[in-house]
Structures are given as structure tokens and as C-alpha cells.
Structure 1
């Protein structure tokens, strides 16, 4: 028979849940500030918990990254599930540029951290593949069957709507978010005319 839940055990459970949430929030804050591969010590310090508490909730940093990924995917899904403003498929594909610009700008540091950690984390590699597949499926749903069957066009659109394209324009080419979005929208329009 399970032990009864006492107020003290319920309080410990609530503190444990609060600490777990603080640890994940600290990880997200550190990465958003630009440190793409924070240590457990940095996370513990930012969350104002002991290092042992970090590892009590997360056996290793990979499991912490996994939890962080759940939060990020939730934000991306919220953007993806909003109804489209446009009726015509071409305009919906261009609207995808705008949606992804917003989402990639918001979660860009986390996606870059994921990319950096893919080499060390089997989970992050699988998670990245799942994200790429989901983004591609969203694109496929917005184009007519003839375009979806046109492998060259679909591959080019998928590339233009990818985080990698966004990141290249923003980081390597130094474009502002507005200019990067305009550049990608122009390329997409030319491709689907």
C-alpha cells in the first residue's frame, strides 16, 4: 500500500517541481544570453540551486537539453498552428517566411545550441531531425500536389524556409530581421511564380 501523502511530502514535491522549472528556465536564459553550451555549474548558479539539485532532476546535461527542447518545440508549434491569413497557396507559402522569421528569431539561440550539441547528444540529433521533418510537412501541406511532387522546387522551398537559411542571412551576412525576411520572401516568390 502506498504511503499517504502528507503535507510535508506534498511540499517537497512542489519544491522539487519548482526547482526543476527554475533549472530549465535558467538553461533557457543562459542560452538566450549567448552561451550556447552552458555547464551544469552555470545552470545551478543561475537557477539559484545546488549542483546536486541539477543532477537530482536531470541525470546528465543531455536530459536537461531534452527538457529545454520540449519548451522550445511548444513555442514553435504554437506559431505553426495559427490559422493562415491568406487563401491562395502562393501567399500562404510567403506567409510561412514571415511566421518562420518570427519563430526563428525567437528561438534562434536555442536552435544554434541544439546544432552545436548534436555531435554530443544523440537526443538532440533525433530532435533536430524531427523539427526538420515537421517544418517540411508544414510546407508540403501548403503547396498543391503538383508542387509537392516537383522534387527540385520542394527542396529549394524547404531550403529557403529553413533555420539554416535564416541563420546564414542573420549571422553570416549580417542582415536585420526585416531585411532577411524580405530577402527570403523575394526568393520564395520568384521560385513559385
Structure 2
């Protein structure tokens, strides 16, 4: 067999493997988005229309699959993570920030739950979580530059009251509607900031 034919066969196998992997990522993204926190290889194989052995072969490197899922999600949520400084009073900017955060947390909710369930077993998810936390703080300060003048304790409290963990508790543990969860988060944030920022 000539080198050219061998190279073509190798390229063909690599292409098929990449297509299979993409189908697996698509299936995982869809299943998790529909609320399946820990999709099994069998479920993924059925959704991807692939043999279970193919799925197991790719599942051997779960961290790289998690990374591809995270990249897919990040591309999907950029509209909620603005980094320019918006106009308006502190109260107006806080209201808009919390409105967008509510939409953002609702969008990522199934993926956040899945990530929390898998984080202790995944180096990638652990590092991703650690890098996302300061990004949310940066996002807060971009919306409310006045926060640069508040104490660390106030900033810590505001970060917590506007966090995905707080939203998860309101929506899942307390079983609040989106509207009531948003109202509760706003009241909590205003309580933290009262007397520390201008209106």
C-alpha cells in the first residue's frame, strides 16, 4: 500500500472520529440542556445515533468533552456578559444587571447543575469554576463602578446574593418562580448595598 493511500485512510479515520465526537458533544449538550444532570453513555449513544462502544471510547476523556461543552455554552451566553459600562443611576443599573443575571442563570441552569454534580471528579470543571467566580465579580464592578469604594465585606455579600448558587437556591430549593426569585435577589442586593452607594 502506498504512503498516499495510507495517509488518505488515516485522514478518513480521523475525520470520522471527529464527526463522531461532534455528535457526542451535540448529544451531551442537548441532554444536559433538557435537564439530564448525568447523561449515561447509553443515553448519549441513542441521541447521537452512534454505537455505545464509540461513545465509551470518547467518554474515556471526559474532561475534554466537558471543555467542549463549556466552550459551546460560553459562545451561547455572551450577550448576557457585557463588559462596557452602562448608563443610568445606581438603582437603574442594578435593576438591569439583576434582570440580565436572572435570564443568564436560567439559561445556564441545567449546565450549572450538571457541572456541580461532576465538579469533584473533573479537573477541568474545578478550574473552570474557579476562573468563572472572579469574572462575575468583574461583571458586577463593570455595571457598578462605585463598588470599588465599598468594603471587602460588602463586596463579598453582594457577590453571594447575586451568585448562581443563590439563584439555584431560590429557584430549586425554595421553588420560587422566576419573577419571585428575581424580586428576592433584588431585595437582598439592595439590603447589602443600603447606605453604601448613592441612589
Matches of 1:114 and 1:146, distance apart in 2 = 29
Are 2:119 and 2:125, in contact at CA under 8 Å, matched by a contact in 1?
A: yes
Are 1:94 and 1:189, in contact at CA under 8 Å, matched by a contact in 2?
A: no
Matches of 2:138 and 2:153, distance apart in 1 = 16
Matches of 2:78 and 2:138, distance apart in 1 = 13
TM-score with structure 1 length normalisation? 0.83
For the structure 1 residues 3 and 130, does the alpha-carbon distance in structure 2 shift closer, same or farther, using more than 3 Å as the test?
A: farther
Structure 2 unaligned spans of 5+: 195-199
Are 1:20 and 1:57, in contact at CA under 8 Å, matched by a contact in 2?
A: yes
Shift of 1:187: 2.1
The CA deviation string for residues 160-193 of structure 1, in whole angstroms up to 9 with x for no partner, is: 1100000000001010011101111122223324
Are 1:92 and 1:142, in contact at CA under 8 Å, matched by a contact in 2?
A: yes
Q: Which residue of 1 aligns with 2:117?
A: 116
My pick for the range that moved more, 167-176 or 140-149, is 140-149
Matches of 1:146 and 1:164, distance apart in 2 = 21
Secondary structure of 2:81's counterpart equals helix
My pick for the range that moved more, 165-174 or 58-67, is 58-67
Q: Which residue of 1 aligns with 2:47?
A: 46
Matches of 1:84 and 1:101, distance apart in 2 = 19
| Equivalent runs, 1:135-150 vs 2, <5 Å | 135-145=136-146, 147-150=148-151
The CA deviation string for residues 106-164 of structure 1, in whole angstroms up to 9 with x for no partner, is: 11011011011111111111111111121111112233356454112111110111000
How many residue pairs get aligned? The number is: 191
Are 2:83 and 2:142, in contact at CA under 8 Å, matched by a contact in 1?
A: no
TM-score with structure 2 length normalisation? 0.81
For the structure 1 residues 164 and 3, does the alpha-carbon distance in structure 2 shift closer, same or farther, using more than 3 Å as the test?
A: farther
Instruction: Give the structure with higher Rg (CA).
Output: 2
Shift of 1:84: 6.5
Shift of 1:44: 1.8
